[in-house]
Amino acid sequence: HLAYVNGHYAPHQMASLSIEDRATQFSDGVYEVCLYLNGHGVDFTAHMDRLDRSLAALSIPAPMGRRALALVMDRLLIRNRLRTASLYLQISRGVAPRDHAFPKPAPAPSLIMTAKRFDCDALKRQQAKGIAVISTPDLRWKRCDIKSVSLLGNVLAKQAARQKGAGEGWMVDADGLITEGASSSAFIIDQAGCLRIRTLAADILPSITRRAVLDIAAQQKITIDHRAFSLDEAKSAKEAFIASTTAGVTPVISLDDQMIGHGQPGPITKAIISRHWDHMQ
Ligand code: PDD
């Protein structure tokens, strides 16, 4: 497998970043995970727009223009003979002697990319089964809207889930409301059949799959209630699901070992999953 590092393609074991890269010392960088199905980038423009916003928020210059970046991404897939793949892209402020403030003069930003085969059948199996979710405190910083590589809070939330045999950790804020998953957005369908979601703000990532789900819900005439929900509200929901680029829309069948609905993927979630596959084609 070949990775891309600052203009070069190299096998994964050989590809490396400097020990003085700002990403390693300060998590001073941003990333995107993009999904390609049959060579076509799903919601590609939305991912590139969000990347630009993340870069701008941290005043990191884009290492190249958008068209050039898209070409490198395509090239990486072609060189790896991949058509259905997830692609990880990371841009950091670059390499400079360790000092917290932005280095002056500004170094060239570092750009790295990796790609791996994406197994649609495995995702479909997981969507058919659903996943268990646990709750865990949201320990993150106050700019979770930036897709930065500073992910320790997310790492701890996912690990807490893993240790309990769950597939995702839903993070709970100081008010007892769920923010989002460790690496996905969080949704419930309440007893009235309304889709409940938290409003976009600095405390959650503007998920691209979330946007797609909202569009689908609107088409399906599902009422959308932009209101954060508590852990208890989630536990008594009719249905629940997560959404992300690599998990698509995946049903949640339990929360902290309490069954959601009948403990099986619900009908509204299943309808959204089917529409979302159509959307991704
Ligand atoms: N994670 N919330 C968080 C904290 C995330 O890390 C992600 C994505 C999402 C969903 O965003 P999107 O729909 O744009 O993928 C929400 C990626 C997949 C990851 O870190 O691997």
DSSP state of 95: B
Counting atoms of ligand 1 from 1, which one is nearest the CA of 209? 13
Residue ranges in the chain whose pLDDT is less than 70: none
Counting atoms of ligand 1 from 1, which one is nearest the CA of 88? 21
CB atoms within 10 A of CB 34: 24
Residue 18 class from Cβ within 10 Å (0-12 exposed, 13-18 middle, 19+ buried)? middle
Question: Which pLDDT value is given to residue 245?
Answer: 98
In one letter, which amino acid is 220? Q
Ligand 1: which residue has its CA nearest to atom 9? 184
Collect all residues with Cβ–Cβ distance below 8 Å to 75 and sequence separation of at least 6: 4
What pLDDT, in 10s, does the model give residues 45-57?
Answer: 999 999 999 999 9
For Cα atoms 196, 197, 201, give the angle at the middle one, nearest 5 degrees.
Answer: 155
Catalytic annotation present for 147: yes
- Domains of the chain: residue spans and CATH: 2-118 (3.30.470.10), 123-280 (3.20.10.10)
Strand, helix or coil at 69? helix
In one letter, which amino acid is 185? S
Strand, helix or coil at 161? helix
Counting atoms of ligand 1 from 1, which one is nearest the CA of 144? 4
The whole model's pTM is what? 0.97
With beta carbons less than 8 A apart as the criterion, state whether 115 and 72 touch.
no
Ligand 1 site-directed mutation target among 88, 123, 185, most atoms within 8 Å of CB: 185
**Which member of 104, 116, 124, 147 is catalytic?**
147
Total length of the chain: 281
Strand, helix or coil at 123? helix
Question: Which pLDDT value is given to residue 14?
Answer: 95
**Pairing between strand 131-137 and 168-172?**
parallel
Q: How far is CA 21 from the centre of its chain?
A: 23
What does the longest C-alpha to C-alpha distance in the chain come to? 59
What pLDDT, in 10s, does the model give residues 126-177?
Answer: 999 999 999 999 999 999 999 999 999 999 999 999 999 999 999 999 999 9
Q: Please give the full DSSP string across 179-238, using - where no structure is assigned.
A: EEESSSEEEEE-TTSPEEEPPPSTTS---HHHHHHHHHHHHTT--EEE---BHHHHHT-S
Regarding an ipTM greater than 0.90, the answer is yes
